């Protein structure tokens, strides 16, 4: 276990971090401008749908005629630029919401194409990646192809990929555990346009996890047919205790609702016990909370770049999600880093994370997540697969102040002195 810096040492670390912060002031100011635009859109949606106290009342049993549930869906649809939305605690994760979309759209004989390479680890078994077992997409007779357009665009390759009976095109906004960059809204918009020119009938689904409110537009604003994500990440604002969402075309969202409940029941059923106030309030806070997380990611990126580590995104680079990747280069350093994050957490700070198998992942994962909500990506945390090049993925942060304090403890754990931080600033390139 690492040792918490003494008060004087902490003060020195925070003073050094303040100097790093000054080098990225313009990036932090841009985050605030984006947050203001997104906050205005959220506020306007609440007012347009006339959210009131009755919206927070619990429904039980079948949940028929739940006005609050209906208005929550309507608010999400407005905020995310969609015709309809499905916001439910019954989605156990972002992967669950995305999977419901896949099974709602695809039928045996259809073809699915990923334009951002291999999807996130937890989707591999859903797709039957490498093993077409019964119940997976591959085992159901759904064909699959992929290419990575996150860096460069190849029109001829896209023509080839979209040939045949391509029913669904998948775009993953965040990097996941891949080395590729996350997709900006500009990149998503360009891919949507290129697909629609070639295959207008294809359904475009965007995995929006970690990307909500990072920029001023969302995938459905850009022409995507469906977008899905988790409420314990960005849109839950740190308050949602569970759940996921789907936004998009009304006919497609209804088909997803049929997969979540049952055909003929769809979105008109499902009790909402003890969560609606948190879902509404979390969404209202989300633009601000995402801005706090983004500021922490920008500061961390600048800090570790100055110290000579490979980082992605680079300082000053446009961001498509809240994740900051830091390439540490060896497993021992990776574990020290994650243990320091855990120690700097408000919950379970006395525990020591160790690499271990996790459901849905192929490699052992080390996960530092001393969070109020288990696994919440909206709260400051770090995780990584234990595989070369031993890159740690930082995300979240309910407050920028907490991220600053956590970074000071990470520096201490790595043996980086406050003076070394100041000396390293001469190597920072923005």
CATH topology of domain 43-275: 3.40.640
pLDDT tens digits for 220-250? Answer: 999 999 999 999 999 999 999 999 999 999 9
CATH number of 7-38+284-427: 3.90.1150.60
- Residue 174 pLDDT: 95
Q: What is the mean pLDDT of residues 310-328?
A: 94
Q: Which residue has the higher pLDDT, 175 or 104?
A: 104
Question: At residue 1, does pLDDT exceed 60?
Answer: no
| Domain extents in the chain | 7-38+284-427, 43-275
pLDDT value of residue 361: 76
The predicted pLDDT at position 279 comes to: 98
Tokens standing for residue 382: 């770090």
**Which tens digits make up the pLDDT trace of 31-86?**
999 999 999 999 999 999 999 999 999 999 999 999 999 999 999 999 999 999 99
- pLDDT category of residue 163 using cuts at 50, 70 and 90: confident
What mean pLDDT, rounded, does the chain reach? Answer: 94
Higher pLDDT, 132 or 268: 268
């Amino acid at each position: 276990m690492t040792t918490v810096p003494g008060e004087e040492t902490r003060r020195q670390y925070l003073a050094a971090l303040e100097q790093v912060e000054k080098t990225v002031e313009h990036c932090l100011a841009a985050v605030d401008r984006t947050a203001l635009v997104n906050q205005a859109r959220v506020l306007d949606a609440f007012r347009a749908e006339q959210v009131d106290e009755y919206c927070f009342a619990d429904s039980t049993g079948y949940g028929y005629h739940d006005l609050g549930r209906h208005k929550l869906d309507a608010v999400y649809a407005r905020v995310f630029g969609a015709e309809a939305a499905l916001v439910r605690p019954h989605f156990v994760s972002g992967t669950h919401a995305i999977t419901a979309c896949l099974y709602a759209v695809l039928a045996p004989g259809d073809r699915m194409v990923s334009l951002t390479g291999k999807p996130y680890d937890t989707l591999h078994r859903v797709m039957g990646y490498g093993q077409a077992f019964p119940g997976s997409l591959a085992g159901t007779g759904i064909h699959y192809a992929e290419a990575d357009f996150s860096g460069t665009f190849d029109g001829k390759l896209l023509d080839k990929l979209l040939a045949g009976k391509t029913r669904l095109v998948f775009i993953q906004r965040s990097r996941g555990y891949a080395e590729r960059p996350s997709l900006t809204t500009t990149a998503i918009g360009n891919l949507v346009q290129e697909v629609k020119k070639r295959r207008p009938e294809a359904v475009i689904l965007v995995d929006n996890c970690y990307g909500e409110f990072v920029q001023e537009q969302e995938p459905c604003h850009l022409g995507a047919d469906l977008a899905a994500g988790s409420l314990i990440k960005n849109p839950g604002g740190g308050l949602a205790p569970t759940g996921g969402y789907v936004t998009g075309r009304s006919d497609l969202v209804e088909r997803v609702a049929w997969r979540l409940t049952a055909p003929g029941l769809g979105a008109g059923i499902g009790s909402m016990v003890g969560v609606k106030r948190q879902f509404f309030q979390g969404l209202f806070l989300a633009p601000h909370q995402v801005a706090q997380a983004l500021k922490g990611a920008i500061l961390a990126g600048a800090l570790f770049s100055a110290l000579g580590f490979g980082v992605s995104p680079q300082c000053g680079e446009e961001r498509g999600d809240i994740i900051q990747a830091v390439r540490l280069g060896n497993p021992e350093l990776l574990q020290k880093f994650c243990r320091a994050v855990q120690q700097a957490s408000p919950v379970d700070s006395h525990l020591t994370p160790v690499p271990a198998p996790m459901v849905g992942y192929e490699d052992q994962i080390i996960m530092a997540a001393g969070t109020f909500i288990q696994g919440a990506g909206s709260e400051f945390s770090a995780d990584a697969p234990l595989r070369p090049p031993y890159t740690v993925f930082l995300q979240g942060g309910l407050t920028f102040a907490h991220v600053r304090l956590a970074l000071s403890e990470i520096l201490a754990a790595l043996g980086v002195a406050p003076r070394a931080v100041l000396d390293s600033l001469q190597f920072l390139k923005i």
